[in-house]
Structure 1
Amino acid sequence: MTGEGRVPEFDAAFRAQFEQLLRWRRDVRAFRPDPLPEGALQRLAEIASLAPSVGYSQPWRFVTVSDPERRKIIRTAFEDANREALEGYDGERKQLYARLKLAGLDQAPEQIAIFTDHGTPRGHGLGRQTMPEMLDYSTVNAIHTFWLAARAEGIGAGWLSILDPVRVTEALDVPEDWSLTAYLCVGYPAEESERPKLEQVGWEEKAGESSAILLR
């Protein structure tokens, strides 16, 4: 017991389900056009805010992007960045890259930009004098929590990183202390698989289990 009530017990069945949740959390690139239930994004953002953060700073800022003109700017920014990225590859790798579907911008019913507020007074700087990047890491924690919570409801997310953060920040007109951490496409997946898509298409293989822990 604690002052807040009984500590929950997570049994073997729950732990097995949690592992399945992790295994089935995919980076979704193809979405069904079905809209999400009313209030779904707000609920998922609230769950995401249960994530840990350095100094209890909670620096994440979720911005829904629904305006067609702003979405058009994001789409153009992706096309420009994707074209430039393609030129960084040669031979078969370049051909494979060209075949990859790297964005769900045309299908996903929801788009969310997630920023890190580097000007937040919350936390009073605790834990980040020597590692200021901990603010960004805290936001990544919230993004991963959002992702798992969405997966638990059958909702998928795709993290679009082939973007110029400056163009996205300008397009969304957010405070200058905010830096872009992630741009997510959110909706119901058009297909489901336990295997990552990039593994399926031969872009990269799964790392060996022994690579997870190094002893020194």
Structure 2
Amino acid sequence: MSSSNILVVDDEKSIRLTVAQSLEPQGYAVKTAVNGDDALARLKEQSFDLILTDLKMPGIDGMALIEQAVELYPEIKVIMISAHATVDNAVGAMKLGAVDFIQKPFTPQEIRDIVQRVLERQALGDQEEQDYGAMVELAKYQASERQFEVAIAQTKKAIGSDPSRPEAFDLLGMLQETLGDRLEALKNYRVAIDLDPTFESAKQNLDRATEDPSNRPTL
């Protein structure tokens, strides 16, 4: 059970109720706000460990709220909620300080899972780990939306934050291979394997790309 303080911000009452009812039985202390202005007022009254906020709201929208919340409490974690998540929105929210996002509609279990994941990362106290994982996950989302060039830039950013880990090199190889740059892809698969010889994804990608160049990875 957790005693973390969570603020849920959404102009839809049904969303506020769903999130609160999903989290309160787990021991979370949940407060709600109907828009960005209401949320900022609550933030000035008490501190929160986590904010879940919609992006599109009247008055102060989610982006502005994320920016101001992080200015008030640099350690606060923010999860973006959106019915129409786009790559630009996700990237923009991450740049402002959001650490994860969830798309409407969602289930109570999905809400519990993402909140637990974010708070567990916070408990680890490892900001570099968190940043790296968030960047890799965002790059995967961008790739799933076929925004390959944007995903490549995000993956390289993850590599820059922690070049000792294999996941981003493997993902970069898959993206490069998808765009037809097989030689660079092979190099990055090998880098990933050099970093972690047990990393199965990179080993499988290298074997596949070497044996059958026409067999592209699935992103």
Q: When the two structures are superposed, what TM-score results if normalisation uses the length of structure 1?
A: 0.24
Q: When the two structures are superposed, what TM-score results if normalisation uses the length of structure 2?
A: 0.24
Q: Which has the higher contact order (CA 8 A, sep 6+)?
A: 1
